[in-house]
């Protein structure tokens, strides 16, 4: 078996990436179409046992579930950024809270 020469490797070895003269401008954030703005989002939070106890106690004190507490926190962050709140499917047909 004959060994084939690495033509691509030799060609790339002599090329050094050029440093940009000016730093590139940051790319703007993508615009979200309004019909997709209110879609529910899935988020997984993993808390250590002590933090879970604190969050659970606070939610219980407010009379909310942990899920409702997180949804409220996410919507407050969205409001501070000028975005509309996310309104997903209610967790229970009998309980629909407005914050």
For residue 59, give every residue at least 6 positions away whose Cβ sits within 8 Å of its Cβ, in sequence order, or none.
65, 66, 68, 69
Structural domain harbouring 47:
39-88
Residue 26: inside a domain, yes or no?
no
Q: What is the pLDDT of residues 52-98, one digit of tens each?
A: 888 888 888 989 888 888 888 888 888 888 888 877 655 554 555 55
Assign 50 a pLDDT band (cuts: 50, 70, 90).
confident
> pTM of the full predicted structure?
0.42
Long-range CB pairs of 57-66 (<8 Å, 24+ gap) are: 64/97, 65/91
Residue 99: inside a domain, yes or no?
no
Total number of domains in the chain: 1
User: Residue range 11-26: average pLDDT?
Assistant: 56
């Amino acid at each position: 078996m004959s060994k084939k020469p690495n033509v691509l490797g030799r060609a790339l070895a002599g090329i050094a990436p050029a440093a940009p003269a000016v730093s590139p401008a940051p790319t703007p954030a993508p615009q979200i179409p309004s019909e997709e703005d209110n879609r529910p989002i899935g988020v997984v939070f993993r808390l250590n046992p002590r933090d879970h106890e604190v969050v659970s106690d606070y939610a219980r004190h407010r009379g909310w579930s942990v899920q409702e507490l997180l949804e409220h926190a996410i919507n407050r962050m969205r409001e501070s950024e000028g975005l509309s709140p996310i309104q997903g499917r209610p967790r229970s047909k009998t309980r629909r809270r407005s914050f």
